[in-house]
Amino acid sequence: MKPKISVLLATNRINKKVFPYMKKCVDNLDKIKDNTFNEEFKNLATYCLTDISHILEPTIISLANQKFKDFEVIISHRYPEDAEKILDGVPFECKLVKEKHSIWHNIGEQYHTVANNKNTAFINSSGELIYHIDDMSFFNKNLLQEAWDLYKDNKYVTGRTIRRIEFNESKKDYIISKGNMKTEICKNGWIGQSKPLTTKEGNAYIPMPMFWTCSASVSAKELLEINGYDELYDGSLTGIDMDAGTRLSKISNYKRVASDNYLYELADDRIKLNIRDDVMMRNIMRVNHIRANSWKPSIVQIRRYENWHKHTLGELDPNWNKFMDVPLYNLERIDV
């Protein structure tokens, strides 16, 4: 019998490279003040981070504690051997799959393949509802139950988040507004960026493109209809999920709402390589496609973006336009 929800987690992080930075949080749980970011953070962080040794453990602990039990987890990993041991004995159905091949894998490890990795997780899933989460994250027991209940009410959910959480004892307390409902908070060395999605409480309506796949739901049927995530944008990092949300808005009868629940994501101090400004590239190319991998920029459009980048951001990475080599294809789920 197929599960109701497929939880997708796509990653390429290696534990031994990332966990030493994450360990600063693990070792300083006693320094969390009451109401550091909100009322639940202290207890939830203590429960999910105490004595862990792997970046996936907080997420696994959170999933094992969910009230909603009819779900599977698909972990797509560029290096699946890094996660094998930590998944022994998990109390839920879990598949660990190797990320399908991407042209970017041939060019270098430094390039991001976010869309390719998410698509790999998706085609190996079998649930009716897809819920996305990120690694290095944790959340309360209500997340999946809320997602399913809202889905049955013709609503998709996007989670409110506290992201880039880290510990730095040299920092003094501060609160800085960064605009667009993003606030950076530091209390007793604990730092995080609060992104509540909306100032309204409860499951307030938000635009469909606010499909942040660190914590968000979508039906498998509609994700197939838009052909998943657009791998033409791989090699870079940002905007893949917002692009999918924009395409969903053109075909979906569902509404998108803000979650009542927060997802907490710990920081990774590695340099984030962005070889293009994908949002600007879309604007310059006037992309208006519905399905992923259904278009290719013209040489004129490529030169227009290249010109803009050189005059505003400087020289481009020599591989910035290798996305032109990605083949066009239709996604099919393997187990359905």
The string of DSSP letters for 26-90 reads: HTTGGGPPTTSSSSSHHHHHHHHHTT--STTHHHHHHHHT-S---EEEEEEESSGGGTTGGGTT-
User: Under the phi-then-psi rule, with left for phi > 0, alpha for psi from -120 to 50, and beta for the rest, what region is 143?
Assistant: alpha
Domains and CATH numbers, the chain: 5-161+193-325 (3.90.550.10)
Q: Give the global pTM.
A: 0.95
pLDDT on residue 336: 62
- pLDDT at position 189 is 97
What residues are paired with 138 via a beta bridge? 264
Q: Which range, 155-159, 176-180, 241-245, is most confident?
A: 155-159
- Of the candidates 55, 45, 25, 46, the one whose C-alpha atom is nearest the C-alpha of residue 189 is 25
Nearest partner of 251 among 280, 229, 272, 221, judged by Cα: 221
Residue 40: pLDDT band with limits 50, 70, 90: very high
Tell me the mean pLDDT in the region 57-80.
97
Residue 52's pLDDT is 97
Q: Tell me the pLDDT tens digit for each residue of 116-144.
A: 999 999 999 999 999 999 999 999 999 99
Per cent of the chain over pLDDT 70 is: 100
Q: Rounded to whole angstroms, how far apart are CA atoms 233 and 113?
A: 9
pLDDT, mean of residues 225-234? 95
Confidence of residue 181 (pLDDT cuts 50, 70, 90): confident
pLDDT band at 287 (very low <50, low <70, confident <90, very high): confident
Mean pLDDT of 181-209: 95
Query: What is the distance between the alpha carbons of residues 257 and 29, in angstroms, rounded to a whole number?
Result: 32
pLDDT, position 25: 97
SS3 per-residue string spanning 40-58: CHHHHHHHHHCCCCCCCHH
- Would you say 269 and 23 are in contact if contact means Cβ atoms under 8 Å apart? no
* pLDDT above 80 (res 186): yes
Average pLDDT of the chain to the nearest whole number: 94
DSSP state of 165: E
Q: What is the pLDDT of residues 141-164, one digit of tens each?
A: 999 999 999 999 999 999 999 999
